[in-house]
Structure 1
Amino acid sequence: MEFIIWGKYQSRAERLASYLDDCNIHYIHSDQSILVRYMSSLIKSLNIILKSKSDTFIIQLPPNLIIYLIPFIKMFNKRAKIILDMHNGATRGNWGKLPFIWKIMNKYSDLIIVHNEDYFNEITSTGKVTTKLIEVLPDPPAEKHRTTILGLNHSDFLKEGKTNVLIPCSYNPDEPIFELVELAKMNPDLHLILTGNKNKAFKLLGDREIPKNITFSGFISAEEYKYLFLHADVVMGLTKNENIQLSVSTESLSFGRPVILSDTKTLRKLYPSGFIFTDNQPEHMNISIKHYLDDYKKLTKELSEVREEKINMWNVKLLQLRGEYNL
């Protein structure tokens, strides 16, 4: 089984692959210009597909350009099974407007998996995708084979004398980045650590003054990310949009570490306890951080109970899909 992702790292993919037999993850990434990057990624993806001895391919969306390879996969391997791991961005903005992609999906895909029921309802309401193709498969709440952190007993990103707040970011429009800058200005005792593409962050912020208690870490290793997740004083996952299941919420279950999430209907429905929910305004985030620190022990106990429930539900769902689609 081959899992193709256009990106540097994806925690959902790592956890999902740990439950699937002989699943090889292929990260395809380039820092070149957009046109060169996408053309190069298409060629590399096709090369992986043609050389593979597997008949099962999981393709993560977006970017949706890779959809145009699906007919070629079926042409060269008539037994090929195509599974699309569709994230919210695949149906929003320009990615959802590419010509013929919905026809290709409906004709050649064997299965489309989405993270949660709200996003399932969003997609099916458009009528663009055949409903029988789509299944809800949440992020696995834990790795099947729990990994340990080897050779890492500190991180230079953690500052003594400050309340270190880890915030995984992609700097997409749904994230309250400007509000985080105001939060840092409001409370100088905080130290905000924003992960992700540093260049994208600076481009987004432009000439805006950045307070000294914000650190843009850039891309960091999976091991350092795990270390920060476990040792920062606070972890937050933020979005302005509904129907999104944030990766940090599932990482919270995986690592057994409570987090603060944006207060959306989708996230509240998915996680009824074990989490703090916040409005994205700076003053509300500041209050939520205080509540998080005050209620940490209680949250940890609740999270443990939620984790066990989610693991049981996940195993049942995966068993069902394996039976129906021979995964």
Structure 2
Amino acid sequence: MELRSQKNPQNLNEPELAALFAELDLKGLFLVWGPRRGSQRSEQIARALGIEIEYLYLTTKQGLLYAPFKYFYQGLATWVLLARRRPEVVIIQDPPIIGPLFVYLFSLLFGTKFIIDSHTEAIEDAEWQWSIPLHRFLSKRAVTTIVTNEPLKQKLDAWQVNTFVLPDPPMILPAATALPLQPDATNMVMICMGDLDEPVAEMVEVAKTLPDIHFYITGNCELNFPEVVKTAPANVHFTGYIKEEFFPLLKAVDAVICLTTCSYTFLSGANEALWMGKPLITSDSPILRSYFTQGTIHTGNSIEDLRRAVLQMSQDLPQFQTGILELQRQRRPEWHQKAQALIQLIGRSTSAKPATAAA
């Protein structure tokens, strides 16, 4: 199926993207094997395309003890859901790669087209390296495999599969009343999950030397950084996982910090800062440097580098505020153009005759 109309991406908004997808006259579904928390990438993409999203999971616990049971349950639930809904196109988040496997098996019987939305950890993390041959097999049979950045695309291109770069989308943010934070102080939030690739300990050490700046750190930091949490100074506030208060917190702070030691990760927290219009401190990786080009300080993850970045941000906030708003104006039409190209790709795939993929 081909689109009957072509839109200027400079003028597109989300309802118009959804209308373009609707022109294909295809029933779509976005499927996530996991809970609705953390990154909102999947939900935002589904909303932009005007398709439903479903979260399927038995437990959030991980490990070999739980995997067989939860994957069996989630696989069965996937088949029941797909048999009931009968979508013609399914976008399935990866990891875990077992989700795309069950969707592929369903497609063999019912002809469903599927797209893999592959997050960085599915390709880069050591715990998922065993699944790379399966990932390659499934990507050869998918309409395309979506990745967040060009270096990941280059890795998958070596598999001789169809890949598509789609960064995290512009966010339509809920109306939020700013949380009351420390008055007459600079307030910054570090958006994180509490994972080991995030320099939480280094950030707390920085805070110890800057008592007039208050730092709000999200995520479950007690799991991997228990001593850091216990010994944090008074100007560090660990929020834990927050849902209802997340955007009110972002609205209240002066700047956002979002960091990783991983080279290929596109940080959803950095994207949230962009669309909240908040100046950003983020890691100095090629991917983040190439995308967050204004209103942003790129820094190393050492205590010295982080302290320097925080001081620069606190001293030049108006300049970075102007820059991040300009970056919003630049990135929005770019993303809409990519989304329109994805819709066109889906349309072409449903028009083409099925082909046998090489192993």
| TM-score category (smaller protein) | 0.7 to 0.9
Tell whether 2:170 aligns with 1:135: no
Could you tell me which of 147, 150, 154 is aligned with 2:179? Answer: 154
- SS of 2:250's equivalent in the other structure is helix
1:71-86 paired onto structure 2 within 5 Å: 71-78=104-111, 80-86=112-118
Deviation at 1:63, TM superposition (A): 2.1
1:25-65 residue CA offsets vs partner (Å, 9 max, x unmatched): 43646244641444443333333223223211111112223
Work out whether residues 188 and 253 of structure 2, in 8 Å CA contact, stay in contact via their aligned partners in 1: yes
**Bigger shift: 243-252 or 82-91?**
243-252
Which residue, 239, 243, 248 being the options, matches 2:260? 239
Deviation digits for residues 75-113 of structure 1 (CA, Å, limit 9, x no counterpart): 3321x1111111110012121313751353134311111
Aligned to 2:25: none
Which of 254, 273, 278 does residue 257 from structure 1 map onto? Answer: 278
Deviates more, 1:7-16 or 1:256-265: 7-16
The equivalences for 1:42-191 within 5 A come to: 42-78=75-111, 80-92=112-124, 93-98=126-131, 100-124=133-157, 127=158, 129-131=159-161, 133-140=162-169, 142-143=170-171, 146-149=172-175, 152-154=177-179, 158-160=181-183, 163-191=186-214
Residue 290 of structure 1 corresponds to: 311
Work out whether residues 178 and 252 of structure 2, in 8 Å CA contact, stay in contact via their aligned partners in 1: no
Alignment correspondent of 1:8? 36
Which amino acid is 1:24 matched to?
Answer: I
Aligned to 1:19, the other structure's residue is in SS state helix
User: 1: CA distance between counterparts of 2:183 and 2:341?
Assistant: 48
| C-alpha separation in 1, matches of 2:136 and 2:272 | 34
Closer, same or farther in 2 for the Cα pair 1:99/1:306, shift >3 Å? closer
Classify 1:29/1:195 alpha carbon distance in 2 versus 1 (closer, same or farther; 3 Å): farther
SS across alignment from 1:273: coil
Contact 1:70–1:104 (8 Å) recurs in 2? no
Write the distance in 1 (CA, Å) between the matches of 2:249 and 2:79.
Answer: 36
CA-CA distance at 1:235 after TM superposition:
0.9
- Matches of 1:48 and 1:160 in 2, distance apart? 50
- For residue 251 of structure 1, give the secondary structure of its aligned residue in structure 2: helix
Percent identity between matched residues is: 24
SS in structure 2 opposite 1:183?
Answer: helix
Aligned-pair Cα RMSD in Å: 2.5
Which residue in the other structure is 1:203 paired with?
223
AA aligned to 1:148 is P
* Contact 1:62 1:86 (C-alpha < 8 Å) held by counterparts: yes
* Alpha-carbon separation, structure 1, partners of 2:56 and 2:183: 35
What is the DSSP-based 3-state SS (H/G/I as helix, E as strand, rest coil) of the residue aligned with 2:287? helix
The aligned counterpart of 2:52 is 23
Match in the other structure for 2:352: none
Higher-Rg structure is 2
Corresponding residue for 2:329? Answer: 308
Q: Aligned equivalents of 1:314 and 1:178: distance in 2?
A: 34
Q: Which moved more, 1:183-192 or 1:87-96?
A: 183-192
Contact 2:284 2:298 (C-alpha < 8 Å) held by counterparts: yes
Contact preservation (8 Å) 1:67, 1:104: no
Q: Which residue of 1 aligns with 2:15?
A: none
Q: Distance in 2 between matches of 1:302 and 1:206?
A: 36
TM-score (norm 1): 0.85
Partner of 1:216: 238
- Aligned pair in 2 of structure 1 residues 51, 159: CA closer, same or farther (>3 Å)? farther
Larger RCO (CA under 8 A, 6+ residues apart): 2
Gaps of 5+ in 1: none
Distance in 1 of aligned mates of 2:135 and 2:148: 19
Q: TM-score, normalised by structure 2?
A: 0.78
Q: Check conservation: 2:115, 2:145, Cα contact below 8 A.
A: yes
